[in-house]
Amino acid sequence: MTEQLSADDWISQGLKALTRSGFTALKADPLAKAMGVSRGSFYWHFADLGAFHTAVLKRWREIAAEEIIAGVEADSDEPLTALLRRTFGARLDLERAVRNWAAFDPAAQAAVRAIDRRRLDYIEALLAKRGLAAAMAQARAQILYWTFLGYALSSPQLPAARLHGLLDEIQRMVSA
């Protein structure tokens, strides 16, 4: 069975468990049971639980920043509009789960800091491309990011029509 499962399979299962049950679910036994395999399969791919956690956090960084940025860059819309739609329109359960994990774990905390910096740098670059001076782009990027974090950590999510109206208003505020 270990040959049938890849490290990516374990990481995907880990992301699901993290989203559904929190970071305490990121253990070999419950993950193996959920996947219908032995715990040995887990250790075939990961030296220990710490290595698995590192891989899960790395994959989250890819999902939470690099895949979104690539999608924005490929989108035909104006990049800031595309970014707002993609980030505020996404399911944010995983975002909340990782940030909760970061409150208890230094490695998760470092991953969150890295993602925050990556996202802020990208937003600043988008605003600078729109002609904002560096200091203004930095300030507005920070405000926009704080707005996103507040939204991401809130629930319940807004109805689509209301969210679109708020995103239009956020874009007007940031662009003014």
Whether the per-residue pLDDT at 3 is higher than 80: the answer is no
| 134-175 residue pLDDT tens | 999 999 999 999 999 999 988 777 888 988 899 999 988 887
In sequence order, the 6+-apart residues with CB closer than 8 A to the CB of 162 are none
> Can you give the pLDDT at residue 38?
86
pLDDT band at 52 (very low <50, low <70, confident <90, very high): very high
- Span 35-50, average pLDDT: 92
Report d(CA 40, CA 148) in Å as an integer. 40
pLDDT in tens, 55-91: 999 999 999 999 999 999 998 889 999 999 999 988 8
Residue 1 pLDDT > 50, yes or no? no
Q: With 60 as the cut, is the pLDDT of residue 25 above it?
A: yes
Model pLDDT, residue 61: 96
Global confidence as pTM:
0.90
Calculate the dihedral angle through the C-alpha atoms of 124, 91, 5, 21, rounding to the nearest 10 degrees: 110
Structure tokens at 108: 């998760």
Q: SS3 string of 56-83?
A: HHHHHHHHHHHHHHHHHHHCCCCHHHHH
Of the listed ranges 56-70, 80-94, 96-110, 115-129, the one predicted with least confidence: 80-94
- Residue 91's SS3 state is coil
pLDDT at 89: 86
Indicate whether 2 pLDDT > 50: no
